[in-house]
């Protein structure tokens, strides 16, 4: 192994030498990550090809007889290359690539050209300690549509409050109108449909100035990581929102859909490729961070609270009436399934004892299956504003989250905890919330769910005790300071806080 020694001399020379060595090592790390990522993509494409399945018997023979099989494979490969003239080309390409890489590692440099006229320039740091970050997610956050958008907005606003210079790149580059303007009002640059060029061009101009890049969602991160690694040595993080493969696998088990199992397997491989290519992996719950560590032990995985509240309501008196509230964005299949299952399996049991009770389904983009639930005892609101949602939380008697599949911490559950609206949920709804079952009913059975709701509809003392316990739980786990400390420690690579999951 080649060793690099720092020269003797004064402190200034030593510091300069250390900085150069660190720059060289970080560049080498970038190249290694990029090669591994490309190799992972090639392996995934191979495993999904027809030839992989056709040659399965040959691979089984090679596993049973590794020595002869290896010699035969190498000889056959050389014969094919020699016969097609590919051998000399491969040798020449390997020499050229090795020389180019060695030269780049000896003299690390980045493009310093100015931005193209149609491209949005990176904003200046907001203070002497200001740092620059690029955040990429599917689109501009629509917090009144999706719970994940509330998380993203919380991260972006927290970074701005801490003096970071923030550029947000919506992967869809769509026109989000007032939602984009609200980000810009916070001092966040939004590179949307108004600006030309793709991310590769933007990074070629601005990559060297970035201190950090945060990517979200496996498809987006897998697509963009090669460009990020080519043009920036910024520290990399990945925020997963939830474990997509786990959600697909649960849905497959619930429906018996074998095709969904295959999708789950491919999604797991994609997510693990991303985990291995970044500096730190962030998920909403300690359980998800621990699962990353179990699957990929060398990855730095941490829990980042997905929601942060500045204040918490005082103890409240029981709400009158018999309204049950379910909140969710219905482009998300688990919410559609939950609403339908509750109306078909749980609500009839409740109405048998409480014929005047009503079930409110509040959330954007309800499909035909959800609209069909509407009736005398079921209200389907469609999209509502934050003020309207707050009114529903204030007037409802019980919140329900009857999710049967999904992954990660559920926004609807956290909102009910924060609002002090007594909640009944399932094991899936309680994911990522340790100790929730001690303060709120968690049942997967329809009869047990109905009994829990009926008790909260009838028992004011139980209602008030659970409401107070939920607000206290939210205050312990979802304060803005908790999210701030966890996020800044992860971005800086500092040791995790006491009690935080990190590996």
What per-residue confidence (pLDDT) applies to 100?
46
Instruction: Tell me: do 72 and 199 sit in the same domain.
Output: no
Q: Is 371 in contact with 389 (CB distance < 8 Å)?
A: no
Instruction: Tell me: do 275 and 414 sit in the same domain.
Output: no
Instruction: Tell me: do 85 and 136 sit in the same domain.
Output: no
Instruction: Tell me: do 289 and 327 sit in the same domain.
Output: no
**Alpha-carbon span 395 to 478, nearest angstrom:** 23
Instruction: Tell me: do 461 and 486 sit in the same domain.
Output: no
What per-residue confidence (pLDDT) applies to 108?
36
The torsion angles phi and psi of 136, rounded to 5 degrees, stand at -125, 125
What per-residue confidence (pLDDT) applies to 90?
54
What per-residue confidence (pLDDT) applies to 499?
46
In this structure, are strands 423-425 and 189-190 parallel, antiparallel, or unpaired?
A: unpaired
- Asked whether residue 486 is assigned to any structural domain, the reply reads yes
Instruction: Tell me: do 486 and 463 sit in the same domain.
Output: no
**Alpha-carbon span 453 to 348, nearest angstrom:** 12
Instruction: Tell me: do 154 and 191 sit in the same domain.
Output: yes
Instruction: Tell me: do 197 and 144 sit in the same domain.
Output: yes
Q: Is 307 in contact with 478 (CB distance < 8 Å)?
A: yes
- Asked whether residue 121 is assigned to any structural domain, the reply reads no
Closest-CA residue to 415 (of 279, 270, 312, 291): 312
- Asked whether residue 251 is assigned to any structural domain, the reply reads yes
Could you report how far apart the first and last alpha carbons of the chain are, in Å? 28
Q: Let me know the angle formed at the C-alpha of 50 by 46 and 52, rounded to the nearest 5 degrees.
A: 50
Domain count of the fold of the chain: 3
- Asked whether residue 119 is assigned to any structural domain, the reply reads no
Model pLDDT for residues 294-332, shown as the tens digit of each residue: 999 989 999 888 888 888 888 888 988 899 999 988 888
Residues of the chain scoring pLDDT < 50: 1-6, 100-118, 499-503
What per-residue confidence (pLDDT) applies to 209?
87
What per-residue confidence (pLDDT) applies to 368?
93
Instruction: Tell me: do 372 and 437 sit in the same domain.
Output: yes
- Asked whether residue 497 is assigned to any structural domain, the reply reads no
- Asked whether residue 122 is assigned to any structural domain, the reply reads no
The torsion angles phi and psi of 327, rounded to 5 degrees, stand at -115, 135
As a three-state string, the secondary structure of 104-148 is HHHCCCCCCCCCCCCCCCCCCCCCCCCCEEEEEECCCCCCCCCHH
Burial class (CB in 10 A: 0-12, 13-18, 19+), 133: buried
Per the structure, the complete domain to which residue 251 belongs is given by 132-309+482-492
CATH label of the domain that carries residue 239: 3.40.50.2000
Model pLDDT for residues 57-112, shown as the tens digit of each residue: 766 766 677 777 677 767 766 666 566 665 565 566 555 555 544 443 343 333 33
Closest-CA residue to 346 (of 422, 458, 428, 449): 449
Instruction: Tell me: do 141 and 259 sit in the same domain.
Output: yes
Residue in the block written with tokens 């420690």: 489
Burial class (CB in 10 A: 0-12, 13-18, 19+), 24: middle
What per-residue confidence (pLDDT) applies to 1?
44
Burial class (CB in 10 A: 0-12, 13-18, 19+), 50: exposed
Instruction: Tell me: do 184 and 249 sit in the same domain.
Output: yes
Instruction: Tell me: do 171 and 249 sit in the same domain.
Output: yes
pTM: 0.65
What per-residue confidence (pLDDT) applies to 114?
39
């Amino acid at each position: 192994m080649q060793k690099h020694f720092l020269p003797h001399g004064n402190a200034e020379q030593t510091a300069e030498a250390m900085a150069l060595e660190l720059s060289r090592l970080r560049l080498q790390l970038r190249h290694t990550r990029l090669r591994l990522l490309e190799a992972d993509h090639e392996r995934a494409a191979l495993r999904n090809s027809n030839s992989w399945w056709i040659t399965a018997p040959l691979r089984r023979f090679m596993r049973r007889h590794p020595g002869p099989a290896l010699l035969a494979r190498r000889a056959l490969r050389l014969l094919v290359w020699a016969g097609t003239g590919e051998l000399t080309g491969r040798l020449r390409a390997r020499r050229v690539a090795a020389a180019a890489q060695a030269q780049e590692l000896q003299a690390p440099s980045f493009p310093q050209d100015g931005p193209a006229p149609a491209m949005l320039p990176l904003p200046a740091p907001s203070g002497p300690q200001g740092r620059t970050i690029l955040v990429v997610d599917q689109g501009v956050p629509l917090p009144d549509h999706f719970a994940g958008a509330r998380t993203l907005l919380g991260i972006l606003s927290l970074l701005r409050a801490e003096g970071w210079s923030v550029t947000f790149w919506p992967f869809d580059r769509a026109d989000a109108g007032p939602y984009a303007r609200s980000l810009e009002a916070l001092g966040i640059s939004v590179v949307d449909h108004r600006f030309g060029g793709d991310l590769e061009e933007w990074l070629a101009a601005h990559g060297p100035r970035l201190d950090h890049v945060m990517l979200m969602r496996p498809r987006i991160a897998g697509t963009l990581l090669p460009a990020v690694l080519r043009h920036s040595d910024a520290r990399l993080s990945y925020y997963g929102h939830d474990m997509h493969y786990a959600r697909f696998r649960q849905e497959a088990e619930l429906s018996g859909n074998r095709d969904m199992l295959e999708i789950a397997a491919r999604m797991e491989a994609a997510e693990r490729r991303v985990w291995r290519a970044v500096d730190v992996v962030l998920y909403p719950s300690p359980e998800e961070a621990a699962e990353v560590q179990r699957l990929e032990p060398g990855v730095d995985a941490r829990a980042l609270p997905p929601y942060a509240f500045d204040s918490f309501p005082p103890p409240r008196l029981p709400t009158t009436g018999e309204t049950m509230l379910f909140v969710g964005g219905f482009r998300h299949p688990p919410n559609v399934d939950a609403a339908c299952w509750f109306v078909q399996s749980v609500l009839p049991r409740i109405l048998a004892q409480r014929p005047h009770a009503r079930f409110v389904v509040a959330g954007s983009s309800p499909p035909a299956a959800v609209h069909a639930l509407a009736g005398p005892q079921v209200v389907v609101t469609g999209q509502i504003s934050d003020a309207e949602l707050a009114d529903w939380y204030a007037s409802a008697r019980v919140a329900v989250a009857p999710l049967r599949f999904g992954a990660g911490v559920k926004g609807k559950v956290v909102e009910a905890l924060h609002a002090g609206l007594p909640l009944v949920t399932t094991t899936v709804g309680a994911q990522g919330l340790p100790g929730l079952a001690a303060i709120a009913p968690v049942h997967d059975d329809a009869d047990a769910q109905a009994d829990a709701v009926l008790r909260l509809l009838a028992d004011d003392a139980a209602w008030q005790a659970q409401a107070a316990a939920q607000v206290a739980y939210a205050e312990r786990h979802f304060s803005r300071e908790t999210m701030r400390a966890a996020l800044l420690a992860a971005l800086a690579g500092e040791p995790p806080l006491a009690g935080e999951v990190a590996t």
